Amino acid sequence: MMPTASTQAAAAPSRVALRGDLLYLRADPGVDPDAGACVHFEPDGWLLLEGGRVAALRAGDDPPGPEWPREDWRGHLLLPGFIDTHVHAPQLDVMASYGSELLQWLQRYTFPAESRWADARHAASGARRFVRALLAHGTTSAMVFPTVHRASVDALFAAAREQGMCLVSGKVLMDRNAPEDLRDDVEQAERECRALIQDWHGQGRLRYALTPRFAPTSSDAQLALCGRLLGEPMPRGGPLYLQTHVAENRDEVRWMRELYPASRSYLDVYAAFGLLGRRSVFAHGIWLDDTDRALLAERGSTVAFSPSSNLFLGSGLFDWARADAAGMRVAVASDVGAGTSLCQARSLGDAYKVLALQGQRLSAWRGLYAVTRGAAAALDLEGELGHFEPGAWGDVVVWRWASGDVQRHRVELARDLHERVFAWMHLADERNVAAVYVAGRRADLREQSDHALAA
């Protein structure tokens, strides 16, 4: 019998055995759909979770002993929880808003939505809604932009902690070229960042990211502050993270040239302040050149390819082949709200189309890697996230192989595993999510009213 939400309402058992079709990636499979040893698939296998982490993965004919409570998901696909490396919590309010490119989008839609998060009750309600929505769409870990307001960061971390999620976030920094109610100054930014780092960085599965929105909205002094904080040792949680945007839109790039005429490139502005490193994630990166790509590869930084957003705003086509040639790390992200879905399966479908327009292809294996183990590597957490190897966190999403007759018909016709997973990747969405486990505990995915969320 399938487990029900009501049976999971109590505290999670210290151990549980999940049965189903288990799939994860051992390494980056590259562009070849014949990924061989990179793919671990255990049809009708057992995934043993103990103390919130993976204890073992077993074949179906090697069941655990009677001391293991069992949950039967036979006929379902069990994947590591997806990881979203670039998403904006306040922008659920502006998804699918009509008719603007990036810079106009910010003024017309994004900034007004973010201003509302100054109110602590609004921020708390919005943060809970956002975190629950991530889980309901199959995402169990994320790197998230809140707003410039300290209350927005507290609300977001609190909501993630309530669910036991891994979440990387931090106060957005803007001290110029932004509405007055969304600006801070360097002194305020440092004071609030240090307090938030003390409160949240390394607390459980939470990590702090310095978050200048993008160089046009941060002064040199504010970017220099980020560089100083990145270089400071932390008592827990390891080094801080950095998240920002780079080279998303041609008008944005032209604006950057006006603001920084002495800089070789947009990315060079960040490099000058010491912001490139293994824990730095730069959203978009469409209009980079080969020198930029080589520098990102050298420093171990990641570009969060956001195909849905790039298509929606008409920003351009990310060239993954050139990123590969440079040895650059790439993850795939939703970038909601210019992105139109929190479901990373939809992000992968859009990524395939962006690459196809350039004569490139995205296999199912490379796609899944980019939203699981590869995204974990982007967050310097590959030992803990994105796979089912012993010791990893027990973040698991149970997916229906098919939702509805059309999906079922197509998946049943698949001639091999890659074709089956590829068809699933393009046809599945959040309606295929049957259950989500975070650190071994089944999440409650039932929708709640705004009144309940605000309570």
The architecture that CATH gives domain 6-80+395-442 is: Roll (2.30)
Quote the pLDDT of residue 104.
Answer: 85
Asked if 344 and 139 touch (Cβ cutoff 8 Å), the reply is yes
Q: Is the dihedral of CA 65, 66, 72, 78 positive or negative?
A: negative
Angle at 82 between CA 303 and CA 379, to 5 degrees: 40
Asked if 53 and 94 touch (Cβ cutoff 8 Å), the reply is no
Q: What's the whole-model pTM score?
A: 0.94
Q: Is the dihedral of CA 278, 283, 284, 290 positive or negative?
A: negative
> Cβ atoms within 10 A of the Cβ of 66, count?
7
Report pLDDT digits (tens) over 331-384.
999 999 999 999 999 999 999 999 999 999 999 999 999 999 999 999 999 999
- With b meaning 16 or more CB within 10 Å and e meaning fewer, what string describes 10-34? eebeebbbbbbbbbbbbebbebebe
CATH 3.20.20.140 region(s) of the chain?
82-378
Average pLDDT over residues 276-286: 98
The token pair that represents 200 in the structure block: 């949240």
The pLDDT mean for the chain works out to 94
Quote the pLDDT of residue 267.
Answer: 98
Calpha distance 81→372 (Å, rounded): 7
Provide CATH code, domain 82-378: 3.20.20.140
Calpha distance 379→208 (Å, rounded): 11
CATH 2.30.40.10 region(s) of the chain?
6-80+395-442
Quote the pLDDT of residue 169.
Answer: 98
Torsion of CA 342, 344, 346, 348, to 10 degrees: 150
Quote the pLDDT of residue 8.
Answer: 39
